[in-house]
Amino acid sequence: MPKKETKLSDMDAMQRSLNVDPPIVSDHDPTAVSRKKDHIELAFKSQIAKGQIDQRFYYEPLLSAHPQKETSIGLPFLGKMMRAPLWVSSMTGGTQMANTINHNLARACKDFGMGMGLGSCRALLYSDEFLQDFNVRHLIGTDLPLYANLGIAQLEELIESKEVYRINQLLDKLQADGLIIHVNPLQEWLQPEGDHFKKPPIETISYLLSELEIPIIVKEVGQGMGYESLKALLQLPLAAIDFAANGGTNFAKVELLRSNPNQAMIYEALANVGHSAEEMVEMTNNIMAELGDQVVCKEIIISGGIKNFLDGYYLINKLKLTCIYGQASAFLKHAQGDYQTLYDYVDSQIKGLELANAFLSVK
């Protein structure tokens, strides 16, 4: 009888072409068979094109163990010890949803050691009606930074009406560590009910720094800021600058979407001006080289368009000042429902950050 030709099964052929081991059933590795099967089935779906490779990092698989429980990515920031270099960027209060969002976010800050900026607290300057929306110090605890937030236009008004004392009252009622000032000329201009600044914001900020003995952070609201504005801020005794760069949520665009179609068409190009977080990191490094000892503000929150832990990890490693990164919309997406959803999201981001810290260095 002619000898029957041995034919490779499809699976064997594929294994050989992939150069993977044949399935081994082992007492020590009970999932080996199903895993190997998955590998074979998924291998062809897992091709990465050259252009998809993230060019921002050196990947160093040989030099670290996996992150251990005691691995620390924390740092001292704003006078407190943060367990993760992450900031919850300011988001508005004043609605039922804001209450849930702020409370969820504050709990996450406590659980993961992050800092938090509240959204505009304008409503609390003259009334306590919405205090519960913002009242989160008991949730975040006293060990982590919590900042109140007001717009530069309101601050101009408070100075004009000689009511600057209301800022201290606001901080007291929120037990906040300091104040974030948002500087948003395009948003105010495009907002039908918006305010117009009577003075350059840098003058108002300088005045408040001389009048108030509180830590102050200055931010934009999603447009970022250019070289000269950054340079001016870096020479002030601010607790920090929060970039709020362009590339993510953009409040000029939010207002355009709220306005009538004519107005939107005329001004829509304004949403695209501004600076990305990456450009702002570069500018800040250049300003530091230019100014040397004249840089007085030593801490930065890199924010605006930070989509995930890799973006954040990249930028905090690029900047030559003490820094953390901030996100608004990414947290918002997960903070509107039950707390577990937010917890799982933040947990995954922090694990990703720890992994990046172990195996990636920035080019």
Residues that bind ligand FMN in the complex, under the rule CB under 6 A: 89-92, 119-120, 149, 182, 219, 221-222, 244, 248-249, 303-306, 327-330, 332
Smallest gap, in angstroms, from Cβ of residue 324 to ligand FMN? 13
User: Sign of the C-alpha dihedral, residues 231, 232, 238, 244?
Assistant: negative
| 97 or 288: CB nearest ligand FMN | 97
| 179 or 297: CB nearest ligand FMN | 179
Bridge partners, 27 (sequence order): none
**173, two tokens:** 């009622």
Pick from 73, 15, 8: nearest CA to 41:
15
**232, two tokens:** 């001016």
User: In residues, how long is the chain?
Assistant: 363
Interatomic CA distance for residues 290 and 313, integer angstroms: 25
Smallest gap, in angstroms, from Cβ of residue 12 to ligand FMN? 50
Contacts of 302 (CB under 8 A, 6+ apart): 243, 245, 277, 280, 281, 312, 315, 316, 319, 323, 324, 325, 326
| 67 or 304: CB nearest ligand FMN | 304
| 14 or 131: CB nearest ligand FMN | 131
Smallest gap, in angstroms, from Cβ of residue 89 to ligand FMN? 4
| 92 or 104: CB nearest ligand FMN | 92
Smallest gap, in angstroms, from Cβ of residue 63 to ligand FMN? 32
Q: What is the DSSP letter of 295?
A: -
Pick from 173, 112, 115: nearest CA to 147:
115
Smallest gap, in angstroms, from Cβ of residue 215 to ligand FMN? 16
| 124 or 330: CB nearest ligand FMN | 330
| 125 or 332: CB nearest ligand FMN | 332
3-state secondary structure of 59: strand
Pick from 219, 147, 155, 149: nearest CA to 183:
219
Smallest gap, in angstroms, from Cβ of residue 220 to ligand FMN? 7
- Tokens 């052929």 locate to 13
Q: Which residue is nearest to ligand FMN (CB)?
A: 248
Q: What are phi and psi of 63, to 5 degrees?
A: -105, -5
Smallest gap, in angstroms, from Cβ of residue 33 to ligand FMN? 44
Contacts of 60 (CB under 8 A, 6+ apart): 359, 360, 361
Smallest gap, in angstroms, from Cβ of residue 315 to ligand FMN? 12
| 115 or 248: CB nearest ligand FMN | 248
The helix (H) or strand (E) run that includes residue 79 is none
**25, two tokens:** 């059933």
Interatomic CA distance for residues 260 and 91, integer angstroms: 24
Q: What is the DSSP letter of 245?
A: B
